[in-house]
Copies of this chain bind each other. A is one copy, B any other.
């Protein structure tokens, strides 16, 4: 495993040609074996595989990419907006799923940041150069031009979190609507009646769906939907704080809060404590994401967990199918290309 046998001249890595010579076959045959073509006799295949092993042959990706016009690479594009988006477990968990799914393939993963204009211009170049076979899009805003660019360049892409109910790209999402319902129903089942909701950024489709879930859970339970119990947040702690202050001002009888994210819940918590409310005795609190913050909050925060790792895996599956089909847009069967994964309520002492 350490030193290899004979090499080409000058210590370079062995080439297809050398493997062919060693195995006593032609270049084409070795190529067929390497690529798993069925049109090779068993004897020949064995000979070639032996030669490959002896020489420690590893295909040259650049040559392959050039000849075959594919790159065997996909890009994960991180818009990474203003904030340190991916300090969130959301990102790392997804990466874990992506990594796991990718481990089964020959694909490599490129991480591309598209936070500012400069990076976006660079990304556009990348894509124009078709340096990747497919693209994974995470946390894309409704008005982002990226998806259109990808469509135009005919590069397969999968989006996590559709931009709207009319999303045209294949997508993987968790059940925001259902997750919100779970949270609210949980609070109601604990005897709470005045349940408020602090939303996420409403230009994010998933945040809207959570509001929908909140609304319908409330009305289905026979509580009318009091619009005054809904206050817009923006997924930040500061936003959560402000929203909670506003809510308490309007309705001092709130006995439960469903926040659209754990960070938002952290802000709400501060506002509640500042107002002298106890959690959960006076006001129960539920967050969303089940991030590290939730576990370490005082009291530990009940939260809705999304199967993010699973989402990452599914995104890769979808994307690889897409890449294999090479029918980026026109492809039929979009019905099966939008998946929604179930969420799970993690109950802790804040509710």
Contacts and interface: CB of A to CB of B under 8 A. Distances in A.
Interface in A96-140: 96, 99, 102-103, 108-113, 115, 118-119, 122, 125-126, 128-131
A280 interface: no
Nearest to A106: B122
A211 interface: no
A58 B127 CA distance: 10
A39 interface: no
A91 B108 CA distance: 20
Contact of A66 (B66, B80, B128, B298): B66
A312 B120 CA distance: 21
Contacts of A63: 62, 66
B66 A71 contact: no
A296 B266 contact: yes
A151 to B, nearest CB: 13
B92 A58 contact: no
A113 B119 contact: no
A84 B91 contact: no
Given A84-B92, A296-B296, A297-B296, A60 B129 contact: yes
Chain copies in the assembled complex:
2
A65 to B, nearest CB: 4
A129 B92 contact: no
Given A61-B129, A65-B65, A110-B111, 15 more contacts: A56-B128, A58-B129, A59-B129, A60-B66, A61-B62, A62-B66, A62-B71, A84-B96, A86-B95, A87-B89, A87-B92, A95-B111, A99-B111, A103-B119, A296-B296
A110 B99 CA distance: 12
Contacts of A122: 103
24 contacts: A13-B129, A58-B125, A58-B128, A59-B129, A60-B66, A60-B129, A62-B71, A66-B66, A80-B96, A80-B99, A84-B89, A84-B92, A86-B92, A87-B89, A87-B93, A92-B92, A99-B119, A108-B131, A109-B111, A109-B112, A110-B110, A111-B111, A266-B296, A292-B292
Nearest to A298: B298
